[in-house]
């Protein structure tokens, strides 16, 4: 994956992390406007992913994106919402990182 594509991926990941954070907030307050905002952010993130899939292939783009999202969302859940992953979940995250690193 080239430098510009990595930057594009980082932008898409920022949108997905923000969308998931907003969606978690919706789960707490139930305001429809918050849900609509999250869905708009998810749509923008997915539109950005189309370019990544076109230029780097589906398997690479989705694999890297999934693991990056998993790590970033877990960090937000831990720091912002006070959620604690179990040992098995931490092991799963580590295996995901290893899988992407050897690809």
Question: Which pLDDT value is given to residue 88?
Answer: 96
Which residue reads 């918050």 in tokens? 34
103: pLDDT strictly greater than 80: no
Question: How would residue 32 be classed by pLDDT, with cut points 50, 70 and 90?
Answer: very high
8: pLDDT strictly greater than 90: yes
Per the CB < 8 A criterion, the answer to whether 56 and 1 are in contact is yes
Question: Which pLDDT value is given to residue 7?
Answer: 93
Share of the chain above pLDDT 70, in %: 99
Name, in order, each residue with C-beta under 8 angstroms of 62's C-beta and a sequence gap of 6 or more.
49, 53
The predicted-structure confidence for 54-100, as pLDDT tens digits, reads as follows 998 888 888 889 999 999 999 999 998 899 999 999 999 999 999 98
């Amino acid at each position: 994956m080239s430098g510009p594509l990595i930057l594009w991926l980082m932008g898409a990941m920022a949108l997905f992390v923000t969308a998931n954070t907003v969606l978690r907030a919706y789960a707490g307050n139930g305001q429809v406007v918050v849900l609509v905002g999250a869905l708009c952010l998810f749509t923008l993130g997915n539109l950005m992913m189309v370019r990544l899939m076109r230029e780097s292939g589906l398997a690479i783009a989705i694999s890297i994106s999934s693991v990056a999202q998993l790590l970033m969302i877990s960090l937000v859940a831990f720091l912002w919402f006070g959620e604690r992953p179990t040992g098995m979940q931490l092991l799963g995250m580590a295996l995901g990182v290893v899988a992407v690193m050897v690809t």
